[in-house]
Structures are given as C-alpha cells and as structure tokens.
Amino acid sequence: MPKAWSEKRERQYEHIKEGLEERGRSEDTAEEIAARTVNKERARAGEATESSRSSTDDISSGRRGGLRSHSGPGGRTKAQLYEEARRRGVKGRSKMDKAALEKAVGR
C-alpha cells in the first residue's frame, strides 16, 4: 500500500480487498484490484499527481459497480442470461429475447 494514500484511501483499499477475498478472489488479485480502484478514485478526485484520461473521464468505480450489480431496472444483460440458460440446458435459448431468457432462468 503506497504511503501517499490518505487514511480514507487506506480504509477504502482494505474494504475493497476484504470484500474481494470474501467473494473468493486470491489475496494477490484482491490487492491488485483494490489498489487500482483506489488509484482511479484518487485520480478522479484530483488527489493524484498524474492520471490518465480514462481515469478522469470514466464513470466512478462505485457507479460502475452499481450498474453491474444486477439489481437495477436493466438487471442482467441478455448475454449473461443466455449463459445461465446454456449452463442450465434450456432448450430454444438461441431464439429467445431477453424477457424470455429471464423467464426461462426463473429470475
């Protein structure tokens, strides 16, 4: 963990890292993802001395995670539903639209 981080960013790093480890990521992977996330948030907030355009112009990590949480009005993508239907062996899945896939996988 870099010394340039504030106490808030250190807490954020630990929170993200622990959450990833609880979800089954290895410690090394969790550390890398947490560090990248914190560094991106620092760049967005103007706390970093250098930052890429993608770090400052992209939507925030929290917002992006929220969009991907599958709990909003859009829910899962058609591709995600299709993959679940494929894993479950649903017949006729290739001809289904998103609504039909949602119904077929039961969520």
63 with 11, same domain: the answer is yes
13 with 42, same domain: the answer is yes
60 with 80, same domain: the answer is no
- Cβ distance 4 to 18 under 8 Å? no
27 with 53, same domain: the answer is yes
- pLDDT at residue number 82: 92
Q: What is the distance between the alpha carbons of residues 40 and 43, in angstroms, rounded to a whole number? A: 5
Which tens digit of pLDDT belongs to each residue from 65-105?
766 665 555 677 888 899 989 999 999 999 999 999 989 98
- Cβ distance 20 to 46 under 8 Å? no
Whole-number Cα distances in Å, 3 to 10, 30, 47, 101: 9, 19, 13, 48
77 with 63, same domain: the answer is no
62 with 77, same domain: the answer is no
For residue 58, pLDDT over 90 is answered with: no
Which tens digit of pLDDT belongs to each residue from 9-19?
999 999 999 99
Number of domains in the chain: 2
Residue 66 contacts by C-beta under 8 Å, 6 or more apart in sequence? 72
DSSP string, 72-96: SSS-S-HHHHHHHHHHHT-TTGGG-
Q: What is the distance between the alpha carbons of residues 73 and 52, in angstroms, rounded to a whole number? A: 31
